[in-house]
Amino acid sequence: MNANREILIRNSDAILTMDDDRRVLVRHDILLRDGKIVSVAPDLERKGHEVDARGCVVTPGLVNTHHHLYQTLTRA
């Protein structure tokens, strides 16, 4: 991602927060700056590239943090 680049994700059907309360945000936008989330709110102002997430559900990165190195050899 280029320095100072902003990406606005809007129009998603839902944002799954995965916080302790398992909140689902509807009609919220996500603003990313330099690869980091800087704001999640309704109707954010577009300053850079815009992604239309209509028909999509936005989730946090699904990262497998529990992995055994030997499994790398057995994957297909």
* Domain boundary assignment for the chain: 6-61
pTM attached to this predicted model: 0.73
Mean pLDDT, the chain, whole residue set: 88
Quick one: pLDDT at residue 4? Answer: 65
- DSSP annotation of 46: P
Long-range contacts of 13-17 (CB under 8 A, 24+ apart): 13/53, 13/54, 13/55, 13/56, 13/57, 14/57, 14/58, 15/40, 15/57, 15/58, 16/57, 16/58, 16/59, 16/60, 17/60
Per the model's pLDDT, the better-predicted residue between 4 and 28 turns out to be 28
Q: What is the mean pLDDT of the segment spanning 19-25?
A: 94
CB 48 within 8 A of CB 34: no
CATH code, 6-61: 2.30.40.10
Q: Is the pLDDT of residue 51 over 80?
A: yes
